[in-house]
């Protein structure tokens, strides 16, 4: 083949390769445009399912269900439309729907705080849609008004009455089932009042996480229970003298088969649903004549937070113990009605 023919041949091959590459690039661009257009036409239900899959990678089952339930409420309120059609009117209709849903008490409607939570979750969902280019604008949602109120708490002496009743029943009960329940309630009581741990952390705590030598309790993920700690910026909880003496005695009397802090005695959990621990604690508080408040959230965590702050413990230290992500959250747990204003009035100078 002469040089001219060879040159023409190479030119033809180059043209063929260039045209093929151009065609592939155009096809990729068309595919990309189609995928982008499909995204923009995605419905709330389709986006909800994708969001759920992504949430499941980084969150525990309980959190995923809570977030997704809010979007499910929205679907019931407005139907399955394209996400891009969401507007302020959709926002308002959703709030109106939430206000009509039944509340926890018979004959009541959903509490403003719950309404606020579901709209907040919807906002998180819409921000996720924006990040994934399903919608092309950020939405600032109108939020339901939540009446501001003081955190309700017990006094330390009232918690002492509950503790005394628990100890009394530990001496009185004879049935194995009752003894198991009251012993575990005492364990939960001691841990909640001395560490300010959340209920989930107490419920899921394996005995292996309690280190008496280092005098710390290590709060970590518990894959076996599909439980993950909330936030947990300060996952090692110190064991004070009172809790140390209790744990030393408690652990010494355990069966080798036991695995959990709240154990039936055979390596299985006392209660498989953490909310049942709250129900049991609520009965104890009721039996000593105390009004109902959420036992572990307000009864223990808020009561002890309030006590520590009133005793002069630095708020930043209480924040770490309560494992709050912000100091503002810690202060929201403070029952301001317990403050003695005389300290301030006595410090006012004579003018």
Do 164 and 116 belong together in one domain?
no
Residue 207 has pLDDT above 90, yes or no: yes
Do 178 and 101 belong together in one domain?
no
Residue 136 lies in a domain: no
Residue 150 lies in a domain: no
More confident residue, 14 or 99: 99
Residue 12 lies in a domain: no
Q: How far is the C-alpha of 9 from the C-alpha of 249, rounded, in Å?
A: 91
Confidence band of 128 (pLDDT split at 50, 70, 90):
very high
Q: How far is the C-alpha of 262 from the C-alpha of 183, rounded, in Å?
A: 9
Residue 144 lies in a domain: no
Beta-carbon-side half-sphere exposure of residue 316 (alpha carbons within 13 Å): 0
Residue 11 has pLDDT above 90, yes or no: no
Strand-by-strand arrangement of the 236-238 sheet: 210-211, 216-218, 236-238
Of the candidates 131, 164, 198, which is a domain's last residue?
A: 131
DSSP symbols for 137-170: S------------PPP---HHHHHHHHHHHHHHH
State percent of the chain over pLDDT 70.
88
Q: Which of 47-51, 86-90, 145-149, 176-180 has the lowest mean pLDDT?
A: 145-149
The tokens of 328 are what? 């503002």
Cβ(61)–Cβ(226) under 8 Å?
A: yes
Do 160 and 197 belong together in one domain?
yes
Residue 36 lies in a domain: no
CA triple 85-89-93, angle to 5 deg: 110
Of the candidates 131, 164, 193, which is a domain's last residue?
A: 131
Mean pLDDT for all residues in the chain: 90
What pLDDT does residue 15 have? 73
Q: Strands 216-218, 236-238: parallel, antiparallel or unpaired by DSSP?
A: antiparallel
Residue 119 lies in a domain: yes
Do 320 and 180 belong together in one domain?
yes
Which of 268, 284, 296 has the alpha carbon at shortest distance from 180? Answer: 268
Do 328 and 198 belong together in one domain?
yes
Element counts in the chain: helices (H) and strands (E): 14, 3
Residue 190 has pLDDT above 60, yes or no: yes
Residue 247 dihedral angles phi and psi, to the nearest 5°: -65, -40
What pLDDT does residue 20 have? 74
Do 58 and 207 belong together in one domain?
no
Residue 67 has pLDDT above 60, yes or no: yes
Do 272 and 334 belong together in one domain?
yes
Chain centre distance of CA 230: 5
More confident residue, 128 or 36: 128
CA triple 312-313-319, angle to 5 deg: 135
Q: Which domain holds residue 62?
A: 44-131
Residue 76 lies in a domain: yes
Global pTM reads 0.70
Residue 312 is given by DSSP the state: T
Which of 187, 350, 172, 336 has the alpha carbon at shortest distance from 258? Answer: 187
Do 333 and 223 belong together in one domain?
yes
Residue 9 lies in a domain: no
Residue 181 has pLDDT above 60, yes or no: yes
Q: What is the CATH number of the domain that holds 318?
A: 1.10.443.10
Q: Which of 56-65, 66-75, 153-162, 249-258 has the lowest mean pLDDT?
A: 56-65
Do 93 and 171 belong together in one domain?
no
Do 160 and 127 belong together in one domain?
no
Residue 29 has pLDDT above 90, yes or no: no
Q: Which residues contact residue 217 at a Cβ distance below 8 angstroms, ignoring those fewer than 6 apart?
A: 191, 195, 197, 205, 209, 210, 211, 236, 237, 239
Do 125 and 161 belong together in one domain?
no
Mean pLDDT of 78-83: 97
The tokens of 48 are what? 């909800």
Do 242 and 332 belong together in one domain?
yes
Of the candidates 131, 147, 177, which is a domain's last residue?
A: 131
Residue 104 has pLDDT above 80, yes or no: yes
More confident residue, 15 or 283: 283
Sequence length of the chain is: 351
Q: Tell me how many domains the chain contains.
A: 2
Q: Note the pLDDT tens digit of each residue in 270-310.
A: 999 999 999 999 999 999 999 999 898 889 999 999 999 99
Residue 323 has pLDDT above 70, yes or no: yes
N- to C-terminal Cα separation, the chain: 113
Confidence band of 60 (pLDDT split at 50, 70, 90):
confident
Q: How far is the C-alpha of 350 from the C-alpha of 239, rounded, in Å?
A: 46
């Amino acid at each position: 083949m002469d040089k001219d023919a060879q040159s023409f041949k190479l030119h033809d091959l180059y043209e063929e390769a260039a045209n093929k590459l151009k065609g592939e690039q155009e096809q990729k661009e068309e595919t990309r445009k189609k995928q982008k257009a499909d995204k923009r036409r995605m419905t709330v239900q389709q986006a909800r399912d994708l969001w759920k899959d992504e949430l499941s990678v980084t969150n525990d089952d309980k959190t995923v269900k809570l977030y997704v339930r809010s979007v499910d409420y929205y679907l019931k309120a407005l139907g399955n439309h394209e996400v891009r059609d969401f507007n302020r009117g959709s926002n308002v209709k959703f709030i109106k729907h939430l206000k009509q849903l039944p509340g926890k008490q018979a004959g009541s409607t959903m509490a403003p705080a719950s309404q606020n939570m579901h709209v907040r979750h919807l906002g998180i969902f819409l921000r996720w849609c924006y990040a994934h280019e399903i919608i092309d604008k950020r939405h600032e949602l109108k939020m339901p008004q939540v009446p501001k109120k003081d955190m309700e708490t017990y006094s330390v002496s009232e918690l002492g009455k509950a503790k005394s009743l628990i100890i009394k029943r530990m001496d009185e009960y004879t049935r194995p089932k009752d003894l198991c329940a009251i012993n575990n309630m005492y364990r939960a009581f001691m841990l909640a009042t001395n560490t300010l741990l959340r209920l989930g952390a107490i419920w899921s705590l394996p005995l292996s996480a309690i280190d008496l030598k280092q005098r710390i309790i290590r709060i970590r993920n518990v894959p076996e229970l599909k439980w993950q700690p909330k936030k947990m910026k300060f996952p090692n909880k110190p064991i004070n003298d009172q809790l140390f003496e209790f744990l030393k005695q408690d652990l010494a009397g355990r069966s080798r088969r036991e695995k959990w802090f709240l154990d039936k005695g055979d390596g299985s959990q006392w209660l498989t649903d953490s909310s049942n621990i709250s129900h049991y604690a609520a009965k104890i508080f009721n039996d000593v004549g105390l009004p109902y408040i959420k036992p572990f959230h307000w009864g223990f965590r808020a009561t002890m937070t309030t006590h520590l702050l009133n005793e002069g413990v630095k708020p930043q230290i209480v924040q770490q113990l309560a494992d709050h992500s912000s100091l503002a959250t810690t202060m929201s747990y403070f029952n301001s009605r317990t403050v003695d204003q005389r300290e301030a009035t006595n410090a006012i100078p004579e003018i």
